[in-house]
Amino acid sequence: MIPRTMLEIAAAHQPDWSAPEELSAVRNALRTRPPLVDAHSCYALAGELEFVARGEAVVIQAGDCAELFSDSARHRVQAKASQLHHLCETAETAGVPTVRIGRFAGQFAKPRSCATEVLPDGTEIPVYRGDAVNGVTPTAAARRADPARMLTAYDLAASGLDALFMRQLLLLEGGSGIGSLLAPTYISHEALLLDFEHALLRPDPARGGDYASSAHMVWIGERTRQLDHAHLAFAERITNPVGVKIGPNATPEELIAIVDRLATGHRRGRLSLIIRMGAEKIADRLPALVAALGTRAGQVTWLCDPMHGNTKKTTAGQKTRVVTEIQAEITRFCRILREHRVHPGGLHLEVSPDPVTECVDTVAELSGALDLDRYESACDPRLNPDQAQRVVRHFTRSL
């Protein structure tokens, strides 16, 4: 049950569930389900992140912007894990061990800046919030917030984790045993739907308190990291590794408060600060934040999300991102952290294992009649395999 104190705290970007009795039934059902991940594996990830904070490893956290139920069959999760594996192999060419964290097997919800959207015929309908909430089809019926979708999200996450386990066994049988055992694939998602996350809290037998059994690591988004809101309180309560997205409007005071609440009393690296400022703003905004933390800057894991601050629109109105701008933000992120004697800990990317055409290579491509003919994302644009490899190689050169 969600503690009463939690219910009294404001929570941003929660669905307007229209059926309270159905929501209650779904919460109760989730409370009886087995944990998706065990506390020991979450603690193992925390240990690997401690090496990252020390400068002895890097993180590649990558996967879908918003997973679709229809794209979450076992073979699709294995394809996403395989792409992550290849990205990490590329990163390891720099001679640094890599921690593999997938944005899959659970990334089914997204915060949105507007509650509704207007169709070409003038009809106003609820915005798509991810398959765990409503459907992507632009109709009033499909966009109704349906609590039962959280049960489907659980089932598909469980199936995805089984697929990852089977992939590990196949690697063992194929002679890749030692490397596979040394490089597990962890899963992560944004802890957005508090009804889902609280229902999957489970006791942590080793450390006491509760852990989020929905993923090895969860993060709090830029839009939900308010100091007096429920999402940060949730992150403070759990024993898992947690991340917090930090955008260009974050203040030194906010960052200090976040670190005080989420890093104090935990092992080094447990808190990941995921910087998402954009190539044009990071040089102005990030140095003051790193400096404000002083020596404590070395107690957290610093990740670069070079995707969200670099979103643009084509002349046709499609959202896209430019690879050269993504690379520019990575360059500046690494340079700023090195200047403050802090380790650039890794990347947080939105990618697809398919040859999609959602991001472009250069700004010049935006000025012409651009045809993104394989635009398949349910929300934001993702890097295709070739673009993702180039971005990771650029990161290794920037370390």
Domain spans in the chain, listed from the N-terminal domain onward: 14-207+214-398
Length of the chain: 399
Give the H/E segment covering residue 115. none
65 has binding-site annotation? yes
Q: What does the DSSP 8-state code read for residue 12?
A: T
280 annotated ligand-binding residue? no
DSSP letter for 200, please: T
pTM of the model: 0.95
Instruction: Specify the amino acid at residue 288.
Output: A
Q: Does 190 belong to an annotated binding site?
A: no
- Average pLDDT on 176-192 reads 76
Tell me which of 203 and 318 has the higher pLDDT: 203
Separation of alpha carbons 363 and 231, rounded Å: 36
Task: Report d(CA 228, CA 233) in Å as an integer.
Answer: 8
Q: Express each pLDDT in 216-252 by its tens digit.
A: 999 999 999 999 999 999 999 999 999 999 999 999 9
**Is 380 within any annotated ligand binding site?**
yes
pLDDT at residue 370, as a whole number? 76
The mean pLDDT value for 179-194 works out to 84
Q: What percent of the chain is predicted at pLDDT more than 90? A: 86
The reply to whether 376 sits in an annotated binding site is no
What single DSSP character describes residue 367? G
So what CATH class is 14-207+214-398?
Answer: alpha beta
Q: Give the pLDDT of residue 165.
A: 87
- pLDDT (tens digit per residue) in 1-50: 455 455 568 999 999 998 899 999 999 999 999 999 999 999 999 999 99
Q: Using an 8 Å Cβ cutoff, are 187 and 160 in contact? A: yes
Longest dimension (CA), the chain: 59
Interstrand relation of 319-321 and 242-246 (parallel, antiparallel or unpaired): unpaired
Residue 325 among known ligand-binding residues: no
How far is residue 177's CA from residue 173's CA, in Å, rounded to a whole number?
7
Q: Say which residue, 314 or 196, is predicted with more confidence.
A: 196
Model confidence band, residue 138 (pLDDT cutoffs 50, 70, 90): very high
Q: Please tell me which residue, 142 or 318, carries the higher pLDDT value.
A: 142
Least Cα distance to 346 among 283, 254, 269, 289 occurs for 269
Is 359 annotated in a binding site? The answer is no
Q: Is 276 known as a binding-site position?
A: yes
Mean pLDDT score, 302-318: 93
222 is annotated as contributing to ligand binding = yes
